Amino acid sequence: MTTPRYATVVLDVDSTVSGIEGIDWLAGRRGGDVARKIAALTDDAMRGAIPLERVYGERLRLIKPRRDEVDALARAYVDALAPGCAVALAALRRGGVDVMLVSGGLRNALFRLTLALGLDEQSLHAVDAHFDAGGAYTGFDESSPLATSTGKRTVVARAGATRPTLMVGDGSTDLAARPACDAFAAYTGFVRRESVVSAADAEVRSFAELETMVMGPVAFSRYNRQ
């Protein structure tokens, strides 16, 4: 059996494991100016134009998502799963690779996706949202490092992931985790942010490529930026 090049693969979720941006999906239910403003703020944060901590709470305050809407988002995440993702992650796990999901998204909405991928609750690191007894939004875990630009680096370091570790994602907050990992691959299957790709160790366009990068006989350099 081939020895994996990485003992742990850490995955972003929004626009990586799943093809949606959860906060933008929730904003879309508000429509109009709210949806446009949230989409612009999300894009600015993912490109690194503004720190995530400047917009994280503001976006949720503007949307005020209800519990039932977050439940609907949980189903949407699963429906928008990246092509080949479940198959590739199952192959990695069979090969002895640990898989972690590290996301600035809402944990409440990501738990269903985690289970759909065959992962356990401990594999998911995300931000808790809070609701009252009637399902109205009351806030989020403001102590979570994942609501900040460099929080993924903190979470990966604290998790004690087995090395070597590969971080995979599409945004600047994923790239910021690079110091806690051995390599960073920019995932461009849904969106390609040049500022992220240019700073990555490699670019992968699909989960089939990711599986080969981690497990296959093809050299890592095949996926280096062209």
pLDDT digits (tens, 9 = 90+) for 171-220: 999 999 999 999 999 999 999 999 999 999 999 999 999 999 999 765 45
The fraction of the chain above a pLDDT of 90, given in percent, is 76
Predicted local distance difference test score (pLDDT) of residue 1: 61
Q: For 112-116, what is the mean pLDDT? A: 97
Tallying the residues shown for the chain, one arrives at 226
Please say if the pLDDT value at position 146 is more than 80: yes
Q: Which residues, 6+ apart, have CB-to-CB distance to 121 below 8 Å?
A: 111, 114
Please say if the pLDDT value at position 109 is more than 50: yes
> Domains in the chain, start-ordered, CATH in brackets?
8-223 (3.40.50.1000)
- The beta-carbon contacts of 213-218 under 8 Å, at least 24 apart in sequence, are 213/5, 213/166, 213/185, 214/4, 214/5, 214/6, 214/9, 214/92, 214/95, 214/97, 214/166, 215/2, 215/4, 215/5, 215/91, 215/92, 215/95, 215/97, 216/2, 217/2
> pLDDT tens digits, residue range 32-68?
888 888 888 888 887 788 888 888 888 898 899 999 9
Cis bond upstream, residue 83 (ω within 30): no
Find the catalytic residue in 12, 24, 98, 174.
12
Look up residue 14 and give its DSSP letter. B
Structure tokens given for 22: 């959860």
Predicted local distance difference test score (pLDDT) of residue 148: 93
> pLDDT tens digits, residue range 87-96?
999 999 999 9
Query: Quick check: 50 and 206 in contact, CB under 8 A?
Result: no
Query: Quick check: 130 and 137 in contact, CB under 8 A?
Result: yes
**44 is an active site residue:** no
If you average pLDDT over every residue of the chain, what do you get? Answer: 92
**12 is an active site residue:** yes
The fraction of the chain above a pLDDT of 70, given in percent, is 95
